[in-house]
Chain A
């Protein structure tokens, strides 16, 4: 498997935001064009289910299909332009010490899909889409379920084979690994730090992650 590891030159001491996010909760935050956003997988193999919106017009949002077709490849890594539903770049991945991130598996988990994939009785286990529903109903952006589209799963490994199999592999991430991206427009971030216990998405042990944001001038100096 070809993975590209590129370290960041940014110093966390310069970050304007540095916050920890526990598993099983949502997080919404706006960053501005030019700012850089880093997600750190603190304990390794934690799935971070993420949707990006154009903060100024939330009808424009992360598009799984536009992103994979723009690069002709299924997996996200350094150099990936995360594309919107209008075919415009939203963010560019500029550093990555994990090496591969999932698109087609995003499919944030839900209580409904848990009843199909695992057991009818597992409806009552906590899930990413329950996080998303609560987040959108308590945030001023007035998002609706229609706006909850296929998401990115940072740090997750869901390979497809040429013969058409889809497998859920153990993750390749590890403690302290991170992914870093530069915003190409003002972005509203919606994240569920995944609580799934029924598959290897979180190594069967959901753990916290950490977010940092740098302002554009500092980032430009380091690029």
Chain B
């Protein structure tokens, strides 16, 4: 097998732009907190070098997510590229979320939850009405039933994006397996209260989230779980980083990402 160019082949100035070590969490590094109720939607800009820690405030949480390069919004999270590059059917600690341009939008240096889904999609108004019924604003005010798709379209609109920018999403804290015949199966009771995942942003990224229940969740009650969002200043992945070194593919993905910011 021929030798393939990697980090050690880069010019010294490019290597110097990467810290020796990845940071670990401490309270002094926190920038902001936000409690996000279940079933709601959110979007924000997470800059390169900041980590978004998502912590669940109950069992059976689900956080649907999409990511877009803030500076070129046609570059976005790409599920097939992410799964094929890493030879995996799901996301976990040590892996990364790729854009369609061969760059790492965010990496997962820490996760208490061993499996995050990215093939199960998100619910919409028809799915919610069918499973849980209808609760309107008129009668229920902010307890009205919401759905992930409408939440995403609402948030995307605020960045000048819309339907054409909806692509297969991540569902943090959910697990959907594929059996031997290719049938999809949601695995209930997968995530516990207090589970968390760290998303370290390697690019300036528009992050869109919904805490609606996962589309395949068989629970017949509308009871989406709240989460806490904490943003902390981690810096980017260091030379010794778990995700950078998890496989040669990711080593190259990080090189592509760093070149973009040189």
With both chains docked as a complex, state the minimum distance between the C-beta of B143 and any C-beta of chain A, in angstroms. 26
With both chains docked as a complex, state the minimum distance between the C-beta of A218 and any C-beta of chain B, in angstroms. 32
With both chains docked as a complex, state the minimum distance between the C-beta of A184 and any C-beta of chain B, in angstroms. 19
Cβ-defined partner of A120 (8 Å) among B74, B81, B165, B255: B255
Known: A119-B5, A150-B167. A107 touches B183 (CB 8 A): no
| Interface-located stretch among B172-180, B220-228, B233-241 | B172-180
Q: Say if the beta carbon of A36 comes within 8 Å of chain B.
A: no
- The answer to whether B84 touches A107, judged by C-beta atoms less than 8 angstroms apart, is yes
- The answer to whether A146 touches B4, judged by C-beta atoms less than 8 angstroms apart, is no
Per-position 1/0 for B168-198, Cβ under 8 A of A = 1000000001111111100000000000000
Q: Say if the beta carbon of A161 comes within 8 Å of chain B.
A: yes
Q: Say if the beta carbon of B166 comes within 8 Å of chain A.
A: yes
Known: A74-B178, A119-B5, A160-B178. A104 touches B83 (CB 8 A): yes
- The answer to whether B83 touches A166, judged by C-beta atoms less than 8 angstroms apart, is yes
Q: Say if the beta carbon of B115 comes within 8 Å of chain A.
A: yes
- 22 sampled A-B residue pairs with Cβ under 8 A: A59-B164, A64-B168, A65-B122, A69-B120, A72-B184, A85-B166, A87-B126, A104-B89, A107-B78, A112-B103, A113-B81, A115-B256, A116-B250, A121-B5, A146-B165, A147-B164, A149-B167, A150-B80, A158-B84, A161-B178, A166-B89, A168-B84
Task: Count residues of chain B with CB under 8 A from any CB of chain A.
Answer: 48
- The answer to whether A105 touches B256, judged by C-beta atoms less than 8 angstroms apart, is no
With both chains docked as a complex, state the minimum distance between the C-beta of A159 and any C-beta of chain B, in angstroms. 8
With both chains docked as a complex, state the minimum distance between the C-beta of B14 and any C-beta of chain A, in angstroms. 12
With both chains docked as a complex, state the minimum distance between the C-beta of B192 and any C-beta of chain A, in angstroms. 19
> What is the number of contacts between chain A and chain B, taking CB atoms within 8 Å?
131
Per-position 1/0 for B99-111, Cβ under 8 A of A = 0111100000000
- The answer to whether A107 touches B182, judged by C-beta atoms less than 8 angstroms apart, is no
- The answer to whether A107 touches B81, judged by C-beta atoms less than 8 angstroms apart, is yes
Known: A119-B4, A166-B83. A160 touches B181 (CB 8 A): no
Per-position 1/0 for A158-171, Cβ under 8 A of B = 11111011111000
Q: Say if the beta carbon of B90 comes within 8 Å of chain A.
A: yes
8 more contacts with CB within 8 A, not counting A66-B121, A85-B163, A116-B250, are: A65-B119, A112-B101, A114-B102, A120-B5, A145-B74, A160-B182, A164-B115, A165-B87
Known: A120-B252, A144-B74, A145-B74. A166 touches B87 (CB 8 A): yes
Q: What is the bound-complex CA distance between A66 and B100, given in angstroms? A: 20
Per-position 1/0 for A134-151, Cβ under 8 A of B = 000000000011110110
With both chains docked as a complex, state the minimum distance between the C-beta of B216 and any C-beta of chain A, in angstroms. 8
Known: A64-B168, A73-B181, A116-B252. A166 touches B121 (CB 8 A): no
- The answer to whether A162 touches B178, judged by C-beta atoms less than 8 angstroms apart, is yes
Contacts of B39 in A (CB 8 A): none
Chain B residues engaging chain A, CB cutoff 8 angstroms:
4-5, 74, 78-81, 83-85, 87-90, 98, 100-103, 115, 119-122, 124, 126, 163-168, 177-184, 215-216, 249-250, 252-253, 255-256
Q: Say if the beta carbon of A110 comes within 8 Å of chain B.
A: yes
- The answer to whether A105 touches B5, judged by C-beta atoms less than 8 angstroms apart, is no
Q: Say if the beta carbon of A211 comes within 8 Å of chain B.
A: no
Task: Count residues of chain A with CB under 8 A from any CB of chain B.
Answer: 46
With both chains docked as a complex, state the minimum distance between the C-beta of B91 and any C-beta of chain A, in angstroms. 10
Known: A85-B166, A112-B102, A120-B252. A165 touches B119 (CB 8 A): no
Contacts of B168 in A (CB 8 A): 64-65, 150
4 closest Cβ pairs, A-B complex: A107-B80, A112-B102, A65-B121, A160-B178
Q: What is the bound-complex CA distance between A110 and B81, given in angstroms? A: 9
Q: What is the bound-complex CA distance between A114 and B90, given in angstroms? A: 21
Contacts of B177 in A (CB 8 A): 162, 164
Contacts of A64 in B (CB 8 A): 79, 168
Q: What is the bound-complex CA distance between A66 and B103, given in angstroms? A: 26
Contacts of A113 in B (CB 8 A): 81, 84-85, 98, 100, 102
